[in-house]
């Protein structure tokens, strides 16, 4: 958002107003998207772990079974979103995903139930 610059009332409307706020170029700040870790439960009880910037969109892609869905999940529906958490950066999300994939099933289920962090 640009700052509001107040122009003095004594300035003639035909005269150009010079101000650093008016002559400076806009600076765009690029923010990194927030990344999420999620777990999907298949009909057979298997758990699939992934990362994304939009959990709802990614889960819909998995449910659709189209080219954007994970091959592992195709034909294993109905699917349910078992767990999701905000992780932060993509790097942190991938590190958390690798760590969770090394956990035993019992610990993953405890995480879903909210017993473990």
3-state secondary structure of 23: helix
**Whole-prediction pTM:** 0.71
CA torsion, ordered 53, 46, 64, 60, to nearest 10 deg: -30
From first to last of its 117 residues, the chain has per-residue pLDDT tens of 455 555 455 545 555 556 555 555 666 677 778 999 999 999 999 999 999 999 999 999 999 888 888 999 988 889 999 999 999 899 999 999 999 999 999 999 999 998 888
The C-alpha atoms of residue 29 and residue 25 are separated, in whole angstroms, by 13
Q: What is the pLDDT of residues 79-95, one digit of tens each?
A: 999 999 999 899 999 99
91 close to 99: Cβ distance less than 8 angstroms: no
The length of the chain is 117
At 93, list the tokens. Answer: 């999300």
The CA distance from 69 to 102, in Å, is 23
């Amino acid at each position: 958002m640009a700052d509001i610059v107040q122009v003095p009332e004594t300035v003639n409307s035909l005269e150009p107003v010079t101000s650093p706020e008016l002559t400076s170029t806009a600076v765009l700040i690029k923010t990194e998207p927030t990344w999420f870790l999620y777990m999907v439960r298949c009909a057979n009880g298997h758990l699939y772990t992934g990362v994304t910037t939009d959990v709802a969109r990614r889960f819909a892609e998995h449910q659709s079974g189209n080219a954007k869905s994970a091959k592992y999940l195709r034909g294993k529906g109905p699917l349910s979103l078992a767990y999701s958490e905000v992780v932060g950066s993509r790097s942190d999300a991938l590190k958390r995903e690798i760590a969770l994939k090394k956990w035993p099933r019992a610990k993953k289920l405890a995480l879903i139930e909210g017993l473990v962090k």
